Structure 1
Amino acid sequence: PAYISEKYRQFPFPTRRNDITDEYDLSGELLGAGMNGAVLACWHRATNRKCALKVIKDSNRARCEVILHKKACEGCDHIVQILDVYENMFESKRCLYVIMEWHV
């Protein structure tokens, strides 16, 4: 889409640009909060798997963080896995929706 500017670093893995609610049911349940914002619960519609949704304001720094996290968790059971990344808009601002596995 036109709203994703080429000035941003490209992801070296596939991302989604459709509406996140096509695949996930979102919840108001707060799982935690960090420097980059809240982490909310969501459910993958096809599997009913509970996941964690982190919403990050899109920037090159945020993209680097997601890329490094995804690379670090490849083949490692001790790091929370990134399941999906969405490039989307929220309240007229570019955001990254990062779907991660959720553990109690």
Structure 2
Amino acid sequence: MSLLTILAKTVTLKPLVRPGALFGSTTIAGTPEAAVPRRVQLFVSQNAHGQVFPSNTLVDWCWSDAAGDWHFDNLDPTKKYHVIAYDHTGVHDPVIKLNLVPSVEE
């Protein structure tokens, strides 16, 4: 039996999953709310219990733009993610959103 035959028998193909996206904005609460740029980190959830550390893996990070907008693309919509926005000025505590599911465009 050739090596090619052995590999062909052990390969399993996963169904194609369309990539999803998460997006949001960073603001300081008030009247009106003030959009601010902040560092945003994206973690993939290892479980559905909302536990952030230490079992989750950092997937990506970005700075929100001047309008406070941030987004992450090409995410697996079958997984849940956590997002943490940090105030680099140290005035405000981090904000955490748990168990987010990426949206998929039709």
TM-score, normalization by structure 1: 0.28
Structure with the larger helix share: 1
Q: Which structure is higher in RCO with an 8 Å CA cutoff and minimum separation 6?
A: 2
TM-score, normalization by structure 2: 0.27
Larger Rg: 2
